Amino acid sequence: MSERREASGGEMSSALVTRTSARGLRVDVRLFGIAVIIAAAVGYLMYTGLQGTAASYFVTVSELQAKATSVDGRRVRVGGDVVAGSIVRGGPGEPIHFRISDGVSELEVVYAGVLPDIFAEGRHVIVEGLYRTGQPIQADSVLTQCPSRFESVPTTATS
């Protein structure tokens, strides 16, 4: 049954395909032009998106200190473990101070937002914020990860 339908469809189509006209070409060119415009717009948007504050350098603590001059004044995203005993919580509403370490060097972090649920000493965290040489990072986002113990744990804190 399906054989027959396909055959008749094929006949019809071949008759139509042969009728390629100059107008068809013009339409193709125009559609191609639109496609190019969309592609260019997307390319432009993506390029400018990467230039602005949307992008940040993802580094370890040691890498950050090695590259301090080149990333000064830029957004960075730094991963490290929370150093035991370094958490100073202050009272409610005051920012939290803590240090993170990658085993080699340490970095001071100040964070004023709501901490993620599984934030604790020793946990691996990723902090994101503006970096100024010699100053603690003013983080506007702290992510926690503890892959060794939890699975499919969505946690986040962004201020």
Binding region for other proteins (CB under 8 A) out of 38-46, 80-88, 102-110, 129-137: 38-46
Contact pick of 83, 87, 110, 126 for other proteins (by CB under 8 A): 126
The C-alpha atoms of residue 100 and residue 112 are separated, in whole angstroms, by 16
Q: How far apart are CA 46 and CA 80, in angstroms?
A: 29
Query: Is 56 among the residues that bind other proteins (CB under 8 A)?
Result: yes
Segment 88 to 117, residues that bind other proteins, using CB under 8 A = 89, 91-93, 112-115, 117
DSSP collapsed to 3 states, 80-115: EEECCCCCECCCCCCCEEEEEECCCCEEEEEECCCC
The owner of tokens 């006209």 is 21
Q: Give the HSE-up count for residue 10: Cα atoms under 13 Å, Cβ half-sphere.
A: 6
Contacts with other proteins by CB under 8 A lie at 2, 5-6, 9, 12-13, 16-17, 20, 23-24, 27-28, 30-31, 34-35, 38-39, 41-42, 45-46, 48-50, 52-59, 67, 77, 79, 89, 91-93, 112-115, 117-118, 120, 126, 128, 143-148, 150-159
